[in-house]
Amino acid sequence: MTRSQELQIEANNRLIEELAGKNQKLEESRKRFQDLVDQLPCVVLRFDEDGLVDYVNHTWSSFVGSDPEAVVGENLESLIHEDDRGSLLRSMRKNNTVELRLIQENGEYRWVRFSCQKVSENTYQGLLVDLMETRKLEELLRRSQKMEAIGRLSGGVAHNFNNLLTVIMAAVDRLSGMIPAQSARSVKEVERIQLAVGEAASVTSQLLAFSRQQVLAPALWDVRNIFEECEILAGDLVKSPGVEFIVNKPDPDEDLVFVDKSQIHQVLLNLVLNARDAVGGAGRITVGVGRTFLGVQEAAEHDIDSGEFVQICVNDNGVGMLPQVMEKIFEPFFTTKDVDKGTGFGLATSYGIMQQSGGAIRVSSEYGFGSTFEVLLPIPNGDEEKSHCDETPVDSAMEIGNILVVDDEEMILELTCEALREEGHTVTGVSRTVEALAELSDPQNRFDLLITDVVMPDGGGRRLVEEAEKLESKPQIIIVSGYDRDFLGDDQNFGAFMQKPYSLSDLLQQVQRILAK
């Protein structure tokens, strides 16, 4: 072998080694690229003008549930909802982005955002981005806005209706005092009207509970105490030979919660009664307690702060609920019961109470297997104090005062002023905020008490309270409203609050209590 041949062989070997090295690097580069594409959180696919797929990345498996190789050779149109195929064709022609429903292996549909681009004469590259989480958040937002809108409507209706009930209640109270005791029939009719007004007031109370505008009286309570009372209240209601009612009581040193106990009783009773109806006279209802933690995302879904909560569960093995029913269970007037067996207020009221209490209700259900409702109560941060009653008892001696009454409802204003004057008070009644401000600012007037409504067209109770606080001789204040006390805000320090509808006797007692201080 000549020297030139040896040199040629060495050159060929070096070339072969160099090519092998380049091929190895190319393979490594290809593998890195393939791994990168397969790890993308979206589907990458390639298809021809006829829609025949010749490549998808491994993310296809997590989207659809089938092997990526199984889709190669399939027509893209056959992989999406038939109603979305027109959008697919438009996207291919115009290279724009559309939203499609992808058919999963289990037959369900998955919303995706599809975009594509023509990369050669007969080849397209496409991208499928998952929209399920976005759709879920959009649905949560839609439900939240819907519940908020219904809540505002309910609160407004309840407020206006409470004004009318206050007039009826006050007029009946005055009528009752005018009827001779011997007129038994008239007395009975008045009592019937009072009973009907009381029932109507309970309906508006439930509307206010749903709209988070009722008056709450929270205090620190031991969860065990709430449980024991709930067991007593609910035990007889669910008692039936075929219904097993199990209450797993918490430990004696279980958590304290800062709630209005009577309202939490109502929530638990509503849930237990629903469970009783769900089991239909034969089944099991279990009530238990524990702790749970809500992260930021889940807490946002329930419109509450994240953190640790006391969790009270009401579980039944009844009929359960379909998804379309679960979407509406907290809406007022929605019920799956017969007309004479349900009003559709129970869960709506419970929802409002929990929202107003800083908590929430979680629900899970499977049709045919039962439901679980979880009442989530926020754990106090230590700043709360046990509430106590500091009402001044009404002195037997009548206190007479100079009173300014402000209400834009003329009938309520007239009845209130008449009742106070009959008690011997000096009363000035006005229906507009500007008139009330003029009376308060007049140096010749010195009012002992201001009774004002909250919601009025030209400013209302908030403005009057602020102006009254600036006076050198500040009057005592009673706020009245069809809404709750919190409407004025936490910074308002007025003396007393009365929620409409109220009776004249209750108002007169409150006036005496305030003037006696």
Q: Average the pLDDT over each of 68-77, 210-219, 272-281 and give the range with the smallest value.
A: 210-219
Average pLDDT for 147-161: 68
Whether 30 has a pLDDT exceeding 80, the answer reads: no
User: Residue 363 corresponds to which tokens in the numbers above?
Assistant: 């629900």
The model's pLDDT over 410-465, given as tens digits with 9 standing for 90+, comes to: 888 988 999 899 889 999 999 888 888 889 888 888 899 999 887 777 766 677 88
φ, ψ (nearest 5 deg) of residue 231: -60, -40
For residues 366 and 59, give the distance between their C-alpha atoms in angstroms, rounded to a whole number: 30
Q: Please give the pLDDT value at position 420.
A: 92
For residues 78 and 89, give the distance between their C-alpha atoms in angstroms, rounded to a whole number: 13
Q: Please give the pLDDT value at position 490.
A: 47
- Distance from CA of residue 389 to its chain's centroid? 30
For residues 404 and 49, give the distance between their C-alpha atoms in angstroms, rounded to a whole number: 82
Q: Please give the pLDDT value at position 392.
A: 46
H helical segments located in 211-358: 223-238, 261-279, 296-301, 323-326, 346-356
For residues 291 and 311, give the distance between their C-alpha atoms in angstroms, rounded to a whole number: 5
For residues 153 and 157, give the distance between their C-alpha atoms in angstroms, rounded to a whole number: 6
The model's pLDDT over 62-106, given as tens digits with 9 standing for 90+, comes to: 888 888 888 888 998 889 898 998 888 888 888 888 999 989 888
For residues 463 and 212, give the distance between their C-alpha atoms in angstroms, rounded to a whole number: 23
Q: What is the DSSP string of 89-118?
A: HHHHHH---EEEEEEPTTS-EEEEEEEEEE
Query: What is residue 494's three-state secondary structure?
Result: coil
Please indicate whether residue 430 or residue 208 has the higher confidence score (pLDDT): 430
HEC string for 372-417: EEEEEEECCCCCCCCCCCCCCCCCCCCCCCEEEEECCCHHHHHHHH
On the 0-12 / 13-18 / 19+ scale of CB atoms within 10 A, 199 is exposed
φ, ψ (nearest 5 deg) of residue 260: -85, 105
Q: How confident is the model at residue 216 (pLDDT cuts 50, 70, 90)?
A: low
Residues 6+ away with beta carbon under 8 Å from 481: 159, 453, 454, 455, 461, 487, 497, 499, 500
φ, ψ (nearest 5 deg) of residue 457: -60, -30
For residues 428 and 407, give the distance between their C-alpha atoms in angstroms, rounded to a whole number: 11
Whether 484 has a pLDDT exceeding 80, the answer reads: no
The model's pLDDT over 348-407, given as tens digits with 9 standing for 90+, comes to: 778 888 888 888 999 999 998 999 999 999 888 765 554 443 444 445 556 788 999 998
Q: Please give the pLDDT value at position 39.
A: 75
Please indicate whether residue 35 or residue 122 has the higher confidence score (pLDDT): 122
Average pLDDT for the chain: 81
H helical segments located in 302-365: 323-326, 346-356
Minimal CA–CA distance to 353: which of 487, 234, 223, 263?
Answer: 263
- Distance set, CA 301 to CA 13, 138, 141, 193, 237 (Å): 67, 11, 8, 44, 33
* Claim: this prediction has a pTM higher than 0.85: no
Q: How confident is the model at residue 254 (pLDDT cuts 50, 70, 90)?
A: low
Q: Please give the pLDDT value at position 370.
A: 92
Q: Please give the pLDDT value at position 494.
A: 60
Whether 480 has a pLDDT exceeding 90, the answer reads: no
Task: Count the residues in the chain.
Answer: 517
